[in-house]
Chain A
Amino acid sequence: MKKHLVWILPSITGSVLIGIWYFIIVIGGQPDYVLPSPWQILQACVNERHLLIPAAYRTGFAAIVGFVTAVTGGSIIALILASSKWVKMSFYPWVLVMQMTPLIVIVPIFVLWFGEGLPSITAITFGICFFPVVANTTMGLVSTDKNLLDLFKMSNASFTQEFFLLRAPYALPYFLTGVKIAGTLAPIGAITGDFLAGTASTYAGLGYLVQNYRSQIMTAELFAVAFVGCLIGFVFVAAVNFIHWYLLHNWHESSLKTDH
């Protein structure tokens, strides 16, 4: 009963929303370029597939590259920050400053440094994704249970034993929470990235298509891009959630209540 409701209820609300959408079009009589109908958007998806599919592929690829860079870089930064409280006190505020700086202002600088295309887009995705990884992983690494540390000390555990057998697995759920957030941000980062730093010759992803359609007031096609972007986001989140579940489902509370 409950299992079916998970599918049925959203289907009903979705249908109702589409109904309202058509109703507004019929009542308001807006031109297509202001509010296209869902059917027109679907048509745009099909008609523009020769552009949408390669663009989606590029955006997806940029999201993956940016995501992997952010997770790797973020973990390394977290390891350094967690290595001593002095290091953390000295550098954590600067990580925060980096996070607070509006990315859009930095983009021209990135483009200047790395050139247009994938390198800049990766840098932008990194900029959007890295902080949750850093914050959560650092938190995980420094909050190891004091008694467990004492237990390891009692057994004269070496530094590497303490790290790999205790601190690292203890930080894993925190790290994965950061990874999950980074995963939801990565496609957004990639689309923003090629919106701001993609060109037809260097990297024509979904963001570039948005620029293109916008200049021609192709509203249905813009909706189509949004739809494809949403799909990429879904795939990303699903993949990251699966990793989270796979690594933690045996032992961690956070994985117990989620349905998979």
Chain B
Amino acid sequence: MENANDTPLVTLKNLHKRYGKGALVLENIDIEVSGTEFIGLIGPSGCGKSTLLKLIAGLTPITSGELEINGRSPAAARDRMSFIFQDATLLPWLTVHKNIQTTMRLHGVDKRECALVADKMAAVVGLDKVKNFYPRQLSGGMQMRVSIARALSVSPQILLLDEPFGALDEMTRNHLNEELLKIRSMEDWTAFFVTHSVAEAVFLSTQIIILTANPGKIFKKIPVPFPYPRTAETRESAEFQSLVGEVSHHLRSVDR
């Protein structure tokens, strides 16, 4: 990792965002993320969680304040970021193998290299047997794996995830959570993970940021102390349950 742990990787300072002449979506956001953190963003609907991700990705401009990634503007730092959306956003006319390559191809990676990396990524997310399938032949969970493989194929430094498992059943979601952490233990990226599920946020994150709604403001930052690797057993521990309870409590108070 090129940046040492003491220099922030992502800095949001006094950030405000409104769309056009509309109401303020995000107000006075201060976040500093260094090293390889996993940030869980949680809050009621309309708190601007997704907007926050889009700002970091440079997909929508900030209204005022500062937003820097590695000392660069978000748009300039795009090549080191990957976005995973709530739906798998696959190209239905391409096979799994080709879908994984989409981002790499756009980044100008050469054809043979693309195929090799796609093979490797397919193995990592457990898709080797369905490489030549089309997206419609896969379940929602499998489609999401393709999306993850595609995002990780370009070795991003930052991964932005917008409720990626929101549409999946709980079993599949838990399973993918565990796998995501397993992959992360090998790859080391910083994550911003938007979710509605408190348990998911606690399970994945090193830090949870709770936002209030209308406009979105930071209500509380809660560090998650559990060491990695976290497994299915982590979820069953009393400490885990009590932290989930605490975060849920905060969430209820902002949702009022």
What is the interface of chain A, defined by CB distance below 8 A to chain B? 145, 147-148, 150-157, 161, 165-166, 169, 172, 250-253, 256
Contact = CB atoms under 8 A, between A and B. Distances in A.
Interface string B59-73: 100000000000000
Interface residues of B, number: 24
A166 B164 CA distance: 22
Contacts of B81: 154
Given A150-B83, A157-B106, A172-B93, 13 more contacts: A147-B86, A150-B59, A151-B85, A154-B103, A155-B106, A155-B107, A156-B78, A156-B106, A156-B107, A165-B91, A165-B106, A166-B91, A251-B134
5 contacts: A147-B86, A151-B103, A154-B78, A157-B106, A250-B93
Main secondary structure on chain B at its contact with chain A? mixed
Nearest to A256: B136
A153 B81 CA distance: 12
B89 interface: yes
Contacts of A256: 136
Interface in B91-106: 91-94, 102-103, 105-106
B134 A250 contact: yes
A147 B91 contact: no
Main secondary structure on chain A at its contact with chain B? helix
Contact of B135 (A154, A165, A251): A251
* B103, B106, B107: most-surrounded residue (chain A CB, <10 A): B106
A152 B102 CA distance: 9
B85 A147 contact: yes
Interface in B176-224: none
A202 B30 CA distance: 79
A127 B54 CA distance: 45
B128 interface: no
Nearest to B86: A147
A150 B55 CA distance: 12
Nearest to A157: B106
B82 interface: yes
A176 to B, nearest CB: 12
B82 to A, nearest CB: 7
A84 B57 CA distance: 25
B136 A251 contact: yes
Contact of A252 (B82, B92, B102, B103): B92
B119 interface: no
A102 to B, nearest CB: 39
A145 B106 contact: no
B37 interface: no
A145 B89 contact: yes
Nearest to A253: B136
Contacts of A169: 91, 93
Contacts of B105: 165
B93 A251 contact: yes
Contacts of A156: 78-79, 106-107
B2 to A, nearest CB: 21
A154 B136 contact: no
Contacts of B85: 147, 150-151
